[in-house]
Amino acid sequence: MKLGLGLYRHMLTPENFAFAKQAGATHIVAHLVDYFCGGAGHSATDDQPLGTDWGWGLAGDPDKLWPLDELTTIRRNVEAAGLKLEAIENFDPAHWGDILLDGPKRAQHIENVKTIIRRLGEAGIPIMGYNFSIAGVAGRTKGNYARGDAPSVGMEGAYDLPMPNGLVWNMVVDPTAPSRPTGNIPAATHEQLWDRYKRFLDEIVPVAEKAGVRLALHPDDPPMPFIRGQPRLVYQPSLYQKVVDLNPSPVNQFEFCVGSLAEMTEGDIYDVVDNYSRQNRLGYVHLRNVRDKVPHYKETFIDDGEVDVLRVLAILKKNGFEGVIIPDHAPQMSCAAPWHAGMAYALGFLKAGIMSLEGKR
């Protein structure tokens, strides 16, 4: 098992690569979607993107896919720091939003995804993490939820406000939409969403196989059956099995988020980890801790929630998981570098857990 750190776009700097290395990580997962408006929308107390009813802000340029040389440069910069780039996490809604909505630009967006996957293969990046969701990561709240009143995220009830036109995957894809809203996106059904997903897999999996890139699906975050009136795909642990059964290709894998899975109202988290790691479906793992279930869960320090993280690590080890584990989020700590301190605490805990299982001192 390998330890990694996830970095948002504005954090892909030599300093943060050095920080990851110093904290014992060997791998990086890079978010290229700019959730924080180039860092301008980010403050030292930001944990992870939350946004407003208009989401996280403007999506990327619909006509500019991540260039091959940008991907290669990021990989080289990561390697120059003595680390490896394991995955890119999340497509930009400007590039693939109409696949989620089954909109008029769907065919173009399928071509976009194919191009991105091929470029990852050429750039030597093994995994593409993604989240097949219409409303995206929306409905979370922030509060002093964690031990010692540390700020973290959670949920304080359902989020049912309809999704306005121009918004998809919790980002604005039509910049004129917020100033002149033209109604809401009609609600899809779960059947329609699964149909959209199956078509996506049918078209993209062969390209990923050829490119040598694994696709890693994140479960819904937060895992509610509906957010903003739109259906969610994997909001109970058993729905991950449906993903495997739709397309059993070895590249059809999971961005296996233990926190989101533990927030679900069904299933025993240890059985869930055992089941899918035995099936060898884990592309990489998000490992954090949580208290309670949707729609009222709260994120906690890694040693402090309802999940026995050391037991999770032991199950992964037993089933021969050899991929990368990142602490996807961590509560902020009271100091001059709240995000870094929170991450260093989580990384240290995970590092000790992995070392004790692997018999290393």
Ligand X SMILES: O=C(O)[C@@H](O)[C@@H](O)[C@H](O)[C@H](O)CO
Give the interface segment with ligand X, choosing from 19-27, 129-137, 160-168, 347-355 (CB under 6 A).
129-137
Q: Taking the complex as a whole, how short is the minimal distance between the CB of residue 32 and ligand X, in angstroms?
A: 11
Q: Taking the complex as a whole, how short is the minimal distance between the CB of residue 90 and ligand X, in angstroms?
A: 5
Q: Is 198 exposed, middle or buried (0-12, 13-18, 19+ CB in 10 A)?
A: middle
User: Among residue numbers 137 through 166, which ones bind ligand X (CB under 6 A)?
Assistant: 137
CB-wise, 129 or 231, nearer to ligand X?
A: 129
CB-wise, 152 or 277, nearer to ligand X?
A: 152
Q: Is 299 in the site for ligand X (CB under 6 A)?
A: no
Q: Is 218 in the site for ligand X (CB under 6 A)?
A: yes
CB-wise, 80 or 337, nearer to ligand X?
A: 337
CB-wise, 41 or 184, nearer to ligand X?
A: 41
Q: Is 229 exposed, middle or buried (0-12, 13-18, 19+ CB in 10 A)?
A: middle
- From residue 95, alpha-carbon distances to 92, 131, 340 in Å are 5, 13, 31
CB-wise, 90 or 289, nearer to ligand X?
A: 90
d(CA 137, CA 332): 20
Q: Where are the alpha helices (DSSP H) in 66-125?
A: 68-80, 93-101, 106-123
Q: Please provide residue 22's backbone torsions phi and psi, each rounded to the nearest 5 degrees.
A: -60, -35
Q: How many residues bind ligand X (CB under 6 A)?
A: 13
Q: Taking the complex as a whole, how short is the minimal distance between the CB of residue 273 and ligand X, in angstroms?
A: 17
Q: Taking the complex as a whole, how short is the minimal distance between the CB of residue 136 and ligand X, in angstroms?
A: 8
Q: Which residue is nearest to ligand X (CB)?
A: 48
d(CA 177, CA 171): 11
CB-wise, 29 or 104, nearer to ligand X?
A: 29
Q: Taking the complex as a whole, how short is the minimal distance between the CB of residue 51 and ligand X, in angstroms?
A: 10
Q: Are 325 and 287 in contact (CB under 8 A)?
A: yes
d(CA 207, CA 199): 13
Q: Is 34 in the site for ligand X (CB under 6 A)?
A: no
Select from 62, 84, 100, 131 the one that contacts ligand X (CB under 6 A). 131
Select from 34, 46, 86, 328 the one that contacts ligand X (CB under 6 A). 328
Q: Is 89 in the site for ligand X (CB under 6 A)?
A: yes
Select from 25, 65, 90, 214 the one that contacts ligand X (CB under 6 A). 90
Instruction: Determine the residue type at 259.
Output: G
User: What dihedral do alpha carbons 74, 80, 83, 89 form, nearest 10°?
Assistant: 0
Tokens of 37: 């408006």
Among 129, 118, 71, residue whose Cα is nearest residue 254 = 129
Q: Taking the complex as a whole, how short is the minimal distance between the CB of residue 89 and ligand X, in angstroms?
A: 5
User: Among residue numbers 222 through 251, which ones bind ligand X (CB under 6 A)?
Assistant: none
Q: Taking the complex as a whole, how short is the minimal distance between the CB of residue 263 and ligand X, in angstroms?
A: 11
Q: Is 170 in the site for ligand X (CB under 6 A)?
A: no
Q: Taking the complex as a whole, how short is the minimal distance between the CB of residue 130 and ligand X, in angstroms?
A: 6
d(CA 201, CA 209): 11
**What mask, x for binding ligand X by CB under 6 A, covers residues 41 to 70?**
-------xx---------------------
Question: Residue 142, Cβ neighbours under 10 Å: how many?
Answer: 17
Q: Taking the complex as a whole, how short is the minimal distance between the CB of residue 220 and ligand X, in angstroms?
A: 9
Q: Are 172 and 314 in contact (CB under 8 A)?
A: no
- From residue 271, alpha-carbon distances to 99, 244, 261, 274, 284 in Å are 32, 17, 11, 5, 18
Q: Which residues contact ligand X (rule: CB under 6 A)? A: 6, 48-49, 89-90, 129, 131, 137, 218, 221, 255, 328-329
